[in-house]
Structure 1
């Protein structure tokens, strides 16, 4: 049985019910030509020892102003006690004025250290999506379109923080792969992927109207996340990428601000290629209104 016919025969079936040998395998890495020819012989990048030390001793660096300010206060008091000057500040004395200035600088250092310790950047960690792993492909797609869709998924899942991919074309879902919300997957027969909220929502409308990519770097901050019920509930970031004027790709990530600028530009190029591929068959695809097999 050919690969395309096999893929169509298993379309819209959760991936957990499929034997591993049925899934296409793509190479996850390529060996550089320099490795074959004996390795890289160019100049080696210099190591920034200061930056490395600061990054590895963050707490010490943040506490450093407190130590400096505290030592400065002790030094002023010690100097005042052995200098023979009256302990009461005297505005006419140059030593008193210098001591007051030093005390002000020392207190400023201490306060700066306390602020640095209290204000810390929030650590961003990878989140394990809460959902069910699935693979759903529309049954009426040509063989090489199916291969291109699977290649796009494999590339995004390996090179970026993408963990969920939904492709909607002509208001119908042609691909759902990766981790999906448990409410959108049935352990029995495949069910319909509900894209009604997406197509009729403000997110879809704004993206299609602008014709440009929309990046929701922290999905939890956007009330419109309810328009994406097919994504895991703890999806951290989402890219909404238009496919021409007929479709949209929804890419869910597992890390807040996990998609870099390079990732966004690359996804835009992939979308242009995918739109060109799907548009050739948009008139011949028998996309059922409810995406049934």
Structure 2
């Protein structure tokens, strides 16, 4: 049944997983007479925790170390009575020059750490309207399965939009969609234009899933005008060689490897 093919293609494999316990070693744990826990304790990475909580301080640390080192070299030359002018014939001067070079390198390294920071990925609210569209001629059993697929995807993944086209026929548009500028309703899926686009043709021709982890970087985004303008990621899942399921997410790289199965 066509609906069965559709469900097997778009349903994530991580809804239900059984963990094998055949080779699990038994763990002994008990309560002491005072009520305390006696058993294996989880390892705590206190160094990693401290660094993550003091990110700005750690990034600035090379600057402090380099600045203090420069002051220490100058103070040493002052109190030791060495001429402030560097003399290449003096071993002390050569050592001071090396220390100053290392200190400047440390300061520059700290400046680089401060200028380069990881970009934190956040969840965005889809800029569109919610809709639920399906042809009236679909059997009730197919409609219920499609709704179940949508509920499963939206519950366990970052999916916020789902469009299904099969055999040149519009099957489903649910979740958030781009708002029509005229009436404020959801933009209708133009199946003919969609099937002529490079995204649709490439995914169906290859027969393999295509994951656009950061949709804004792909020029083919214009071929999906029915998705919210700020859709972050898209999965193009072929349904055999006759259809395509388009899954839109609200987070860049939000779909994990298990979600793409």
**Secondary structure of 2:58 counterpart:** helix
Query: How far did 1:208 drift?
Result: 1.0
Question: Is 2:190 aligned against 1:194?
Answer: yes
Instruction: Decide whether the 8 Å contact of 2:233 with 2:251 is kept in 1.
Output: yes
- Aligned mates of 2:49, 2:142 — CA distance in 1: 47
State TM-score, norm by structure 1.
0.72
1:209 is aligned to 205
1:119 is aligned to 116
Task: Rate the CA distance shift 1:172–1:45 in 2: closer, same or farther, 3 A.
Answer: farther
Residue number among 58, 61, 81 corresponding to 1:61 in the alignment: 58
Q: Report the aligned-residue RMSD.
A: 2.4
State TM-score, norm by structure 2.
0.80
Task: Rate the CA distance shift 1:181–1:43 in 2: closer, same or farther, 3 A.
Answer: farther
Query: How far did 1:129 drift?
Result: 0.7
1:256 is aligned to 252
- CA deviations on 1:124-146 (whole Å, 9 max, x unpaired) are 21111111111112323333322
- CA deviations on 1:176-223 (whole Å, 9 max, x unpaired) are 1100111299678x9853222221100011111111111111111111
- Aligned mates of 1:173, 1:213 — CA distance in 2: 20
Instruction: Decide whether the 8 Å contact of 1:185 with 1:191 is kept in 2.
Output: no
2:103 is aligned to 106
Task: Rate the CA distance shift 1:63–1:166 in 2: closer, same or farther, 3 A.
Answer: same
Question: Is 2:150 aligned against 1:153?
Answer: yes
- Aligned mates of 1:152, 1:43 — CA distance in 2: 41
Task: Rate the CA distance shift 1:192–1:164 in 2: closer, same or farther, 3 A.
Answer: closer
Residue number among 179, 183, 200 corresponding to 1:182 in the alignment: 179
- Aligned mates of 2:173, 2:182 — CA distance in 1: 11
Task: Rate the CA distance shift 1:192–1:91 in 2: closer, same or farther, 3 A.
Answer: closer
**Secondary structure of 2:153 counterpart:** helix
**Secondary structure of 1:129 counterpart:** coil
Task: Rate the CA distance shift 1:258–1:134 in 2: closer, same or farther, 3 A.
Answer: same
List runs of 5+ in structure 2 lacking aligned partners: 1-14, 19-28, 30-38
